[in-house]
A and B are shown apart, each in its own frame.
Chain A
Amino acid sequence: MAVETAAKEVLRMEHITKQFGSVYANRDINFDVRAGEVHTLLGENGAGKSTLMNVLFGLYQPTAGDIYVRGQKVKIDSPSQAVKLGIGMVHQHFMLVEAMTVFENIILGDTRSKGIFIDQNARKKEIMELSQKYGLDADLDQPITELAVGAQQRVEILKALYRGCDVLVLDEPTAALTDQEAEGLFEIMHKLTGEGKSVIFISHKMREVLRISDRVTILRSGQTVETVNIGDVTGEELANKMIGRELKPSQYEKMESDGEAVAVLNHVSYHKNSKHNGLNDVSLTVRRGEVVGIAGVDGNGQSQLAMLLTGNISPEEGSMDLKGSRVARFDPNGFIQENVSHIPEDRNKAGLVGNMSVSDNLVLKTTKDPRFSDANGLHLKKKAIRNYALEMQKKFDIRCSSVDQEARNLSGGNQQKVILARELEASPDLLIAVHPTRGLDIGATRFIHDTVIAQRGSGCGVLLISADFDEILEVSDRILVMFEGKIMGEYSGKNPPIEEISLAMAGK
């Protein structure tokens, strides 16, 4: 696509600065987009990509800097202004009203058609034309709640196109998609650029960036590092520019463990007939000193597996052995007493109490410990808790303004570190880690993988559940594939048969 470099510039952002209090989220950023190109914004979490796009979309007002659309200087003070200028955005967290249908979501806020009432037939015809033109199939009458993530994303893109956008911003669009769905998205992106529309693609997944982009602008700590043509760089160079230091490609050594079986499931079933939220005759073993990876597309019973292994639900059929003895009662506290640790799949909903301080979150499980309280939890030793928190902050490199800061104000990576500190400090016998690196950048991901491997080294049995296949391949010693609540097969983590595993993930 390098031939098209002479193409028309549609958008330019000059010297954009955005401050939140004393923090600079964006500092003197320059960025431009040409017609018909995919321009990637690359950067780690917190590098300022989303902030910059929110400025472009009128959700944030820049502290300083100018925006030009088709050569004209503009002031974008609201999303509707952005839409009028032909800018559309698909947010990382979808802006879809779940209680409404696809159709209602697309026409929401429509100001182009006249009249008080909704002319269903006319609007639907327009939407269907768009959807056929760009291969965005959608069932207009379906409620949003019944759609898979990929389909919801198509609705978001349709929504932007319906408003007549020329520049489409996709904020980490592949974060929640399976590889197949991501391929579908790339095809749609090609169709869009083929029609002369421009796409701003935000990502930190190197493989995708190399595959789809025409140009890449790298952001680091809120500042522009460089804009490059994709043909002129390698993935490694991009990664190094992004994190600002050398990233050593390291592979963890794969172990074959014959240690004690810490957790054994014997023909366990739970809501057997539910394809997406149940378990169907699952048997597995996790031994000390190994990482067992559960691969599979999200929503094939992984959440239930994790809840069962941490005592949050009890099986309807089958049994479980924990460190050699049969589990009689499934309750979370009992499992915690047995030294089972859990990194839950949703750190905000289940992992942390957002409104509580970092230090309080760190001792949530151990308030009865005589180190932290007198009389079995009756009176908390605030000072000891604080000192412990400071120690953990150092040990796990938790970046926060103070350990008294509310946990919800931390970035995703640092929230996850708080959870790691709480769950791993007691040297667990069994660790259930669910999507431990979801939404985290390369640096934080590496830290978490290192920590998990270190646990393995100290004799902990680890069950890693992840929808990120690369992550499973990276750290698992044994790989199990789940599909519709069933275990489809078991593979060695050493030289795994990738083709075969991919097929198993699709249920074949």
Chain B
Amino acid sequence: MGSFISNLILASVRMASPLIFLSLAELYSQRAGLVNIGIEGIAAIGSLTGFLISLITGNPLLGVLAGALAGIAVNMIFAYATISLCAEQIVYGMAINIFAPALAAFIYRVYFGSGSELVQAGLMGSLKSMLGIKSNNFLVNLFLDQTPMVYLAYILIIVTAIYFTRTKSGLNYKAVGEYPKAAATLGINVIGIKYLSCVICGALAGIGGAYLTTCYSKTYVDGNVAGRGFIALAAVIFGRWSSGGVLIACLFFGFCDALQIRLQLVNNTLPYQFFQMIPYVATIVVLAAIGAKKAGPKSSGQPYRKEER
């Protein structure tokens, strides 16, 4: 039982990491007033790009970097349409969700042919193996048996928290999402910050996707993001649009994910699909309980037009 719980905790932290990247992507987007529901699609492209580059170069870190760049590239479509053309954000987010995973699947087929043989790439090593530590103590595992990406995720949480609460730039950034017109009258470059938000969002969502193929699973399969992009949307709401809240939300959803895998292994009377539902059911319950009290950035979802009368 003890090992069940410690394994569960270890798995929760691991499963939370991709969610943290994706949720922070959404957080940076929404804080600038852009509701991007296309995180799922961006992550799919990031996932494939990460896999391919990691396979070709043999370096998973390069894979992650490439995933980030691919994410930015895809998100620039969303940025141009919603910021410069003032198009409906939900529509373009949805378009990315349809377009990007299909593009990823297409590239995969083109590159590997239609054979069913699964190609495998190497995974990123953990800090423990890099340092050559042999101990199997729980705390050692918790703090050291993690890939560098996990540390990056938690560092980003802290950096984001400081950025939005302590810095001048963070305050200006938030004002863009709350009341862009007021921000503009104070000399803040609203359009610039909105584009910047899309770069950050695309990069983080791409990294989140690449995490899945460089740190989590050795291979790319279509649909491997598995709704995490949407859970990230829920995590941002659950986390009340704050960095710390997002962390708690991601750990919670990570825990649900880890729990369902463990329960599948332990139990063999119930069909496994029941356990697979856990993270999604948890999302619905949490949103139903918390979503009612909306407190997000005021101008989320609305285009910003200069010289509007």
Contact = CB atoms under 8 A, between A and B. Distances in A.
Nearest to B165: A118
Given A97-B182, A117-B168, A59 B298 contact: no
Contact of B187 (A79, A115, A116): A79
B172 interface: yes
A118 B167 contact: yes
B298 A108 contact: no
Contacts of B166: 117-118
Contacts of A98: 178-179, 298
Contact residues of B: prevailing secondary structure: helix
B268 interface: no
Interface string A216-235: 00000000000000000000
Contacts of B184: 59, 78-79
B262 interface: no
Contacts of A117: 166-168
Contacts of A111: 187
Contact residues of A: prevailing secondary structure: loop
B20 to A, nearest CB: 24
Contacts of A80: 186-187
B6 interface: no
Interface in A187-238: none
A104 B309 contact: no
B182 A59 contact: no
Interface string A26-67: 000000000000000000000000000000010111000000
Contacts of B297: 99
B58 to A, nearest CB: 38
A108 B169 contact: no
Interface in B279-301: 297-298
A108 B181 contact: no
Given A104-B171, A109-B172, A78 B187 contact: yes
B307 interface: yes
Interface in A80-104: 80, 83, 89, 91, 95-100, 104
Given A20-B309, A109-B183, A97 B172 contact: no
Contacts of B168: 107, 110, 113, 115-118
A108 B167 contact: no
Contacts of B15: none
A99 B297 CA distance: 8
Given A60-B307, A97-B182, A99-B297, A109 B187 contact: yes
A89 B186 CA distance: 10
Nearest to A60: B307
Nearest to B241: A99
B188 A99 contact: no
A108 B144 CA distance: 41
Interface in B224-263: none
A89 B185 contact: yes
B307 A108 contact: no
Of B174, B179, B307, most buried by chain A (CB within 10 Å of CB) is B179
A79 B185 contact: yes
A57 B171 CA distance: 23
B153 interface: no
Contacts of A83: 186-187
B52 interface: no
Given A108-B183, A117-B167, 9 more contacts: A20-B309, A79-B184, A79-B185, A95-B185, A97-B174, A97-B182, A100-B174, A104-B171, A109-B183
